[in-house]
Amino acid sequence: MQSELEKVVLTRLLHAHPQGLGKEILDDHRGAEQVELCIKNLRERGLIHSPEEGKLVYPVKLSSAGVDAAKAFEPQ
């Protein structure tokens, strides 16, 4: 994974309600802008569902590839 922030975002989404996360996904000590850039990068890589390209649309949900990536961080 490219960064610790990606790990945090993927893990939060993995443990979120099946409906995904709303704007609370942006809550992080690194700042909302950094989280939004991270989400955009994850979406470009196919790890997050993307109903609209170029816009951050809520709720944010993992794709099946995103679930697999997030589970890689889970202790066995």
Structural domains in the chain? 4-71 (1.10.10)
**Checking phi first, is residue 20 left (phi over 0); if not, alpha (psi -120 to 50) or beta?**
left
pLDDT in the model for residue 57:
86
d(CA 41, CA 55): 12
Q: How confident is the model at residue 1 (pLDDT cuts 50, 70, 90)?
A: very low
pTM of the full predicted structure? Answer: 0.88
List pLDDT tens digits, range 32-72: 999 999 999 999 999 998 777 777 888 999 999 999 999 99
Contacts of 56 (CB under 8 A, 6+ apart): 36, 39, 40
